[in-house]
Amino acid sequence: MIEYDEFENKMVLKLVYYGPALSGKTTNLLSLHDILDQDGRGDLTVLDTKDDRTIFFDLLPFFLTAPSGLKIKLKVFTVPGQVKHDATRKAVLQRADGVAFIADSQLSEETNNSESFSNLEKNLEFVGLDIEKLPLVIQFNKRDLTNIINEDDITRIWEPTGIPVVLSSALAGHGVVETFRRLVELTYGHIDRKYLLGANHGLDKNMFMQKLTGGTVNDAGFKDNRHIAAEY
Amino acid sequence: MIEDNQGVQYDYVVGEEKQLNELIKGPDIMPLLKSAVNAGASSAALVNSAGETLFRYGDTDREAGLTVKKPVYLEGETAGHIIINGHSDRKHLLEAIGELMFNAVKIILQSNFKTLLATETHKTVVYQSYEELIETNRKLKLSEGKYRELASSLEKQVQERTEELNRAHARLLHQEKLVSVGQLAAGVAHEINNPLGFISSNINTLNQYVLKLKEMLSFYHAAFDKKGPSGECVEESKEKWKRLKLDFVFKDVDDLIKESLDGAQRVKKIVSDLKGFSHIDEDHESDADINAEIDRTLNVLTHEIPQEVEIVKDYGKLPSFSCNPAHICQAFFNIILNALQAGAKGLTLRIATRSANNMIAIHFSDNGPGIPESIRNRIFEPFFTTKEVGKGTGMGLNVTFEIITSYRGAIEVESEAGKGTTFSIMLPLPQKVENV
Ligand SMILES: Nc1nc2c(ncn2[C@@H]2O[C@H](COP(=O)(O)OP(=O)(O)O)[C@@H](O)[C@H]2O)c(=O)[nH]1
Ligand SMILES: [Mg+2]
C-alpha cells in the first residue's frame, strides 16, 4: 500500500504489471483504458521517450469512494522489462498490493518468461513482500499468435502453484479485463483482512469490483480459458 | 529504508501522491495567467482543491462580473481549478480563455508529472549519469515544447477563437435568415397558387363564353346587314357597331385572353420555380438535371438580370446528379448573383456545362471587371465581401463553397483584371460499378 491517511480518509493502493520486455504490459493498460468506463478512472500516463521502449513505467489510476466516505485510489503500474532496468523494477514493486505477471505465450519467449518470473521472486523478497501471500495473477498473452505454448502445458506447469491463469490477447482486448478483475478480487481479500473494508467501511467485495471493473461487457478472456480459470 | 547490494537506497516509492504545487511552478503558470489578463480577463488564478489560491494575476478588487471555472486534473482526480474573472458582457471571450487555459494547464501538468517521475526515479534508483538524466529530460521536453508556445501565443489564440465564435454566431443568424426568407417565399408561392388556379380556369371558361357571344353577335350582324326589318334600324346597328369598334374588339379580345392565359402560365412557372428553388416540397436528395437546375435558378433571378445583360447558355448533355436540388440551386444562385452585381455595362455571362472523366463541370464566365489577385484566395471565406458595409452579407460565395465541397466537389476561380472571371465547379459522379 502506497499510503493510508486516516486523517484525510484516503487509501492509495498499488498494482503492478510485471513481466519480460515486450510481453504486452503497456498494451494491457492501453486496452483496460479503452474498455473500462471513463467514470472512475484517470488518464493513462505512458512514460516513454521517443526512441526507447518503456524505460520507466506506465501508470493508470482508478478511484472509488466507499460508503463510509473512504476514498480509495488504485494506481496500476507497469515495469520496464529489460534486464538493465532492474533498479526501476524494484522501485515500482515497492509496497505493491498485487502483481499481474504478463507472460509472452510465444515458444521463443519461454526463457525470457522464466527469467523474468525468477526476477520477480527475487525482487519481491528484496522489497519485503511475501510471494506466497501477495495477490498474484498470471496472464499468458498473445494467444492470437501461432507457435505458442499450448494450454495443457500451461495447466500442467501452473496448476500446482495455485496461481490463477488467464489466457489473453491484449492487442485484441481479450482477457484483459478478466486479468484485472481477478487481481482486483484477490487484492480486495488481502486489504480487507487488515483494514476491514467490508465491516468498517461498508465496502464489500462485489461493490469494490463493480466500481473498479463495472461498466464493461463481460469479458470472457481469450477463447476457452474458462476451464483453466475455473480450476483455481 | 531498504538498500541493495550495490548501495542504492530505496526510500523512494514510485507512486507516492503528488500535490498540485509540487507539479506546477510560477514560471510555468504565471505567463499563462498574464496572457489571460492581456487577452481581456480582469483576473486569472490557479487554486488547489482546498480552494487556496496558488497563483494569481490581475485586478483582485473588481471580482464582480462573470467567473469561468475550469477543473485541473492530476492523475485523473480534480486537484484544483482555473478561475477566470471578467466583465459579464465578455462571456464568449472568458469561455474561450478558460478553454485554452484548461488545455494549456493540462499539457503543463502532464509534462511536469512525467519529468518529475522520471527525475525522481533517476535520482534514487537508476544508475545513470547526470548527463544522461539531462538527455532523458530533454527528450521528454521535446514532446512538451508545445505548451511553451501555447503560453506565448495564448493571446493570439484567444483572439482567433473569439473571432471564430463571432463568425459562427453571425453565420447562424444568417442561416436563420436564409431559412426564413426561403420559408416566406415558399409560403407566398403557396398562397399565390390557389387564386392563380381559378384565374386560369376562369379565363379559359371566359374564352369559351366570349367565343359564343362573338358567334351570336356575328350572326345578328350579318342578318341585319342583309334583310333588316327597317332601314333605320339597319343604319343604327351599323353605326353602333362602328362606334363601339366591334371589329377591333373582336380581334383584340382573343389577344387579351391569350395574353392573360400566357401571363397566368408565367406566374405559375415562377411560383413553381420559387417552390422548386426553396424546395419546400422535397428536402431530400434526388436525381437532378443540372442544366434544368441552372435554368430554374436563372428564372428566379429574372428580375435581377438587366435587359442589356446577355446570358449565353452552352449546355452539354449531362448525366443526372444525385443531390439536394435546393442546395445546388443556392450554389448557382450565389455565383450568378455575384457576376450580375459586379455590374459592368454590356455584361455577358456564359454558362457552360460538360460531362467528362466521371465529373460534371460547370463554368460561369463573365466579362466583368475581374477579381483583384490580392483578394482572390479570400473570396470563399465567410463574411468576406467587397461590397459596402450593410450591402452584402459576404456569405454568398462561402455558402457556394460549403455546398460544393459537401458533394466532394471543387470550385475554382480564374480571373484577370478588366477581362472577366470564370468560376469552375467540378462535381464528381459516383464511381460506376462495372459488371464483370
Ligand atoms: N500479436 C499480439 N501482439 C501483442 C499482444 N500484446 C502486445 N503485443 C505487441 O507486443 C509488442 C510489445 O507490447 P508492449 O505492450 O509495448 O510490451 P511491454 O514491453 O510489455 O510493455 C507490441 O508491438 C504490441 O503490439 C497480443 O496479444 N498479441
Ligand atoms: Mg511497456
CB pairs under 8 A between A and B: 86
Residues from chain A contacting residue B110 (CB–CB below 8 Å) = 45
Å between B52 CA and nearest CA of chain A: 17
Question: Mean pLDDT highest for which of B64-73, B143-152, B235-244, B314-323?
Answer: B314-323
- Residues of B at the A interface, defined by Cβ within 8 angstroms: 2, 4, 8, 10, 12-17, 73, 75-77, 110, 113-114, 117-118, 121, 124-127, 136, 139-140, 142-143
Sign of CA dihedral B131, B133, B135, B138: negative
Q: Whose CA is nearest to atom 23 of ligand 1?
A: A22
Residue B245 lies in a domain: yes
Q: Mean of the pLDDT values across residues B315-325? A: 89
CB atoms A88 and B13 under 8 Å: no
Q: Mean of the pLDDT values across residues B410-435? A: 81
Last residue of a domain, one of B273, B288, B314: B273
CATH number for the domain harbouring residue B423 = 3.30.565.10
Which pLDDT score is estimated for A7? 85
Pair B138, B207 in one domain: no
CB atoms A47 and B117 under 8 Å: yes
- Residue B35's nearest CA partner among B155, B146, B149, B148 is B155
The answer to whether residue B145 scores a pLDDT higher than 60 is no
CB atoms B15 and A56 under 8 Å: no
Residue B309 lies in a domain: yes
Which pLDDT score is estimated for B230? 61
Counting ligand 1 atoms within 8 A of each CB, the residue from A22, A30, A101 with the most, and so the one to mutate, is: A22
Pair B300, B400 in one domain: yes
Which pLDDT score is estimated for A66? 93
Pick from B4, B14, B113: CB nearest A45: B113
The answer to whether residue A151 scores a pLDDT higher than 60 is yes
The answer to whether residue B431 scores a pLDDT higher than 70 is no
**Segment A3-62, tens digit of pLDDT:** 888 888 999 999 999 999 999 999 999 999 988 876 778 888 776 543 444 456 788 999
CATH number for the domain harbouring residue B85 = 3.30.450
Number of structural domains (chain B) is 3
Pair B285, B401 in one domain: yes
Pair B285, B389 in one domain: yes
Last residue of a domain, one of B146, B170, B199: B146
What sections of B301-346 are H helices per DSSP?
Answer: 325-341
Q: Mean of the pLDDT values across residues A56-78? A: 91
Q: Whose CA is nearest to atom 24 of ligand 1?
A: A24
The continuous run of DSSP H or E covering B365 comes out as strand B359-366
Residue scoring higher pLDDT (A196 or B107): A196
Pair B138, B184 in one domain: no
The answer to whether residue B364 scores a pLDDT higher than 90 is yes
Pair B288, B366 in one domain: yes
CB of A113 closer than 6 A to ligand 1? Answer: no
The answer to whether residue B380 scores a pLDDT higher than 80 is no
Residue scoring higher pLDDT (B116 or A124): A124
Pair B314, B241 in one domain: no
Range(s) of the domain holding residue B405: 279-428
The answer to whether residue A232 scores a pLDDT higher than 90 is no
The answer to whether residue B68 scores a pLDDT higher than 70 is yes
Residue B132 lies in a domain: yes
Pick from A63, A77, A91: CB nearest B76: A63
**Segment B167-178, tens digit of pLDDT:** 655 555 555 555
Pick from A61, A88, A95: CB nearest B76: A61
- Report how far ligand 2's centroid is from the alpha carbon of A55 (Å): 8
**Segment A134-144, tens digit of pLDDT:** 999 999 999 99
Pair B238, B283 in one domain: no
Q: Are strands A98-104 and A136-141 parallel, antiparallel or unpaired?
A: parallel
- Closest chain A residue to the Cα of B118, Cα to Cα: A56
Is residue B323 helix, strand or coil?
A: strand
Last residue of a domain, one of B228, B254, B273: B273
Which pLDDT score is estimated for A228? 40
Residue B240 lies in a domain: yes
Is residue B125 helix, strand or coil?
A: helix
CB burial string B95-119: b at 16+ within 10 A, e below: bbbbbbbbebbbbbbbbbbbbebbe
Pair B13, B78 in one domain: yes
Instruction: Report the alpha-carbon distance of residue B72 to residue B81 in Å, rounded.
Output: 5
Percent of chain A at pLDDT > 70 equals 88
How does the average pLDDT of chain A come out, rounded? 85
Mutation target vs A (from B1, B3, B11, B14; most A CBs, 10 A cutoff): B14
The DSSP string of B175-206 is HHHHHHHHHHHHHHHHHHHHHHHHHHHHHHHH
Which pLDDT score is estimated for B168? 57
Residue B292 lies in a domain: yes
Residue scoring higher pLDDT (B257 or B108): B257
The answer to whether residue B135 scores a pLDDT higher than 80 is no
Half-sphere exposure of A230 (CA within 13 A, CB side): 5
Pair B329, B397 in one domain: yes
Interface check for A129 against chain B (CB to CB < 8 A): the answer is no
Domains of chain A: 3-230 (3.40.50.300)
Which pLDDT score is estimated for B390? 36
Interface check for A88 against chain B (CB to CB < 8 A): the answer is yes
Residue B50 lies in a domain: yes
CB atoms B15 and A50 under 8 Å: no
**Segment B214-267, tens digit of pLDDT:** 899 888 888 777 765 566 677 788 888 889 898 888 888 888 888 888 888 878
Residue scoring higher pLDDT (B167 or A117): A117
- Residue A161's nearest CA partner among A181, A116, A131 is A131
Pair B242, B176 in one domain: yes
CB of A169 closer than 6 A to ligand 1? Answer: yes
Question: Mean pLDDT highest for which of A134-138, B139-143, B161-165, B230-234?
Answer: A134-138
- Closest chain A residue to the Cα of B6, Cα to Cα: A87
Residues from chain A contacting residue B124 (CB–CB below 8 Å) = 91
Residue B206 lies in a domain: yes
CB atoms B73 and A43 under 8 Å: yes
Q: Which three cell numbers stand for residue A228?
A: 483453466
Residues from chain A contacting residue B121 (CB–CB below 8 Å) = 56, 88, 91
CB of A81 closer than 6 A to ligand 1? Answer: yes
Which pLDDT score is estimated for A223? 38
Residue B152 lies in a domain: no
How does the average pLDDT of chain B come out, rounded? 76
Pair B364, B378 in one domain: yes
Q: Mean of the pLDDT values across residues B324-337? A: 82
The answer to whether residue A130 scores a pLDDT higher than 80 is yes
Is residue A20 helix, strand or coil?
A: coil
Instruction: Report the alpha-carbon distance of residue B105 to residue B255 in Å, rounded.
Output: 81
Which pLDDT score is estimated for B374? 75
